[in-house]
Amino acid sequence: MEISGEDECLLFLKDCLKVFKPFRGAYIRINYSDLPRNVLGRVNADLQITKTSRARGLFRRRKATKISRKIVKKEFYIRISSIFLRVTDTDLREELVKSVIMHELLHIERGDLIESSKDYRRRKHKKLHSNLEKEALQKINALRLIKGLDALDSDDYLQKEIKRLISGY
What is the CB neighbour count within 10 angstroms for residue 28? 23
Rounded CA-CA distance 8/22 in Å is 21
Whole-prediction pTM: 0.79
What CATH code is carried by the domain that includes residue 29? Answer: 3.30.2010
Residue 58 located in a structural domain: no
Q: pLDDT for 42-95, tens place per residue?
A: 988 877 778 777 766 666 666 667 777 777 788 889 999 999 998 888 888 998
Residue 69 located in a structural domain: no
Element (H, E) at 17: none
Average pLDDT in the chain: 80
Domain range for 20 is 2-46+75-167
Residue 70 located in a structural domain: no
Residue 133 located in a structural domain: yes
Residue 144 located in a structural domain: yes
Residue 91 located in a structural domain: yes
Higher pLDDT, residue 123 or 26: 26
Per-residue confidence (pLDDT) for residue 25, from 0 to 100: 84
Rounded CA-CA distance 116/69 in Å is 8
What is the CB neighbour count within 10 angstroms for residue 56? 11
Query: Is residue 77 within 8 Å of residue 45, measured between CB atoms?
Result: yes
Per-residue confidence (pLDDT) for residue 79, from 0 to 100: 93
Please calculate the CA angle 152-97-86 and round it to the nearest 5 degrees: 120
- Give the neighbor-by-neighbor strand order of the sheet with 41-56: 2-5, 27-33, 62-81, 41-56
CA nearest to 98, candidates 164, 22, 19? 19
The count of domains in the chain is 1
Count of all residues that appear for the chain in the document: 169
